Amino acid sequence: MSEITKTAAPTASRPILKTLTPWIGFLVLLLVLPNIFSSNAGLYTMNLMGIFVIFALSYNMLLGQGGMLSFGHAVYFGLGGFMSVHFMNYIEEGLFTFPMYLVPVFGGLIGLVFAIIIGSFSTRRAGTVFAMISLGVGELMASSSLIFVAFFGGEEGVSGDRTTGPELMGIDFGKDIHIYYLIAAWVFVTVALMYLFSRTPAGRMANAVRDNAERAEFVGYSQRKVRFVSFCMSGFFAGIAGGLFALNFEIVTEENLNALTSGVVLLMAYIGGVGFFIGPIIGAVVFTLLQSILSNYTDIWQLYVGVLFVLTVMYVPQGLTGIIMMHTTAWRLKRVGGLIVPYIRIGIPALAMMAGIAAFLEAIHHVRTASEDDVMMSLIGIEFDSHALVPWIIIFALAIIGGVVTKLQYPQLKDAWETANKLPASGEGVGS
């Protein structure tokens, strides 16, 4: 599914089964997941994950596929959400009869309509101009959401009730597991559609315009129209994600279309890896996990997400998917096994270092925020006095020794990496 490793489709079309295997796997995964994580918290997290997967993928149609950096993608997500929640209320009031599970379609349509309007002028240029316009439009929408109370509901937002529509085979979507399967179905369909879009002429030219907008014009394509088509598609799918958000949470507020949400989707796509189709999926999953799990244990989880983002930008611009894809050569040569021990050898001290740094941050946070007499703090079940000297010495020792050992272990990993990736002399080398 990646753009970098599998770009060409040779003339002989691949066997259908091979093409379908990942999708069947994806479907099975979606069906099996709620049986593994059947708790309410698990379902809650997975529902959010599904919504964010669609949202992040729609964002990557702009950033990764089309080379458009948007700071206002939440506009289409939020508007889709508001539109859907209004439709949920219309259905409840009996204005018309419509199945609740199709409500996200309205979200998608309003996302599409606004993408057509805004895209008609913002896709004129890529790069900084596009980014600035998206930022401006995002701020405009966020501030109007507090002004036009009738549609946006002011600060408390708009709420609805998803159980009031006509039932589907006796299911009224009152239970979390029902909404999970609803979201899963939407995720499967929209992910497939977005993937298929990337394989159409419009989708391929989006990549071409991203790579070299000028040359695209000299093979007959207006770069503006190519961007516009991607932009509209992206708005449509973001709107669907917003509609699912409305169905799932039964409330949509200003926060769903402001800059924070626009930032979150950028973070998800980038951490996952914008160069790969599955990148944003991984990014959305990781981000949601961090958000819902880490936030149970620490107040400063956003700091960790921020650090992860900065480290990604600095050291692995290809994202988490990029790290996985780095192993394809070794995988093909069947040498990944040789990397396990070196990874463990560097992984243990690296974990110790990260634990030390995290403990340091947590301890500082505790000293700064806890009340004067509350000196005891707890980290992963260990109670200690954050004002005493010994815990601090241990924390520093953990971070520094971990760091030094990590550095000492680096050469052996590098050697192992080179051995694992060394192409056979007669093999087909890339750089000849």
Partner 1 sequence: MTAAIELKGLYKSFGPTAIIRGVDLAIEKGERHAIIGPNGAGKSTLFHLISGRYSVSGGGVFLHGENISNLPPYEIYRKGLSRSFQVTNIFPNMSVFENVRCGLMWAKDYKYSFWHLVDRERELNEKTAQVIEEIGLTSRMKIPAGVLTYAEQRALEIGIAAAGGADVIMLDEPTAGMSHSETDQAIELIRKITVGKTLVMVEHDMGVVFDLADRISVLVYGEIIASDTPENIRNSKAVQEAYLGAEAED
Q: Where does this chain bind partner 1 (CB under 8 A)?
A: 3-4, 7-11, 13, 196-197, 199-205, 207-208, 210-212, 214-222, 225-226, 229, 233, 275, 430-432
The Cα 165–Cα 91 span in angstroms is 6
The Cα 82–Cα 256 span in angstroms is 9
Q: For partner 1, which is the closer residue by CB, 8 or 380?
A: 8
CB of 333 to partner 1, least distance (A): 17
Q: Hey, how many other C-beta atoms are within 10 angstroms of the C-beta on 286?
A: 18
Q: For partner 1, which is the closer residue by CB, 9 or 150?
A: 9
CB of 212 to partner 1, least distance (A): 5
CB of 419 to partner 1, least distance (A): 23
The Cα 386–Cα 364 span in angstroms is 8
The Cα 410–Cα 113 span in angstroms is 52
CB 269 within 8 A of CB 52: no
CB of 222 to partner 1, least distance (A): 5
If you search the block for the tokens 């949920």, which residue do you land on? 88
Q: For partner 1, which is the closer residue by CB, 215 or 332?
A: 215
CB of 113 to partner 1, least distance (A): 17
Q: For partner 1, which is the closer residue by CB, 207 or 248?
A: 207
Instruction: Report residue 346 as tokens.
Output: 């560097």
- The dihedral formed by the CA atoms of 48, 53, 59 and 63, expressed in degrees to the nearest 10: 130
Instruction: Report residue 173 as tokens.
Output: 């979507």
Q: For partner 1, which is the closer residue by CB, 87 or 276?
A: 276
Q: For partner 1, which is the closer residue by CB, 216 or 416?
A: 216
CB of 146 to partner 1, least distance (A): 36
Q: What phi, psi does 375 have (nearest 5°)?
A: -95, -15
Q: For partner 1, which is the closer residue by CB, 332 or 407?
A: 332
- Classify strands 382-385 and 376-379 as parallel, antiparallel or unpaired: antiparallel
CB of 201 to partner 1, least distance (A): 4
Q: For partner 1, which is the closer residue by CB, 199 or 422?
A: 199
Strands (E), 347-428: 376-379, 382-385
Question: Shortest CA distance to 342 belongs to which of 408, 417, 407?
Answer: 417
CB of 6 to partner 1, least distance (A): 9
CB 274 within 8 A of CB 47: no
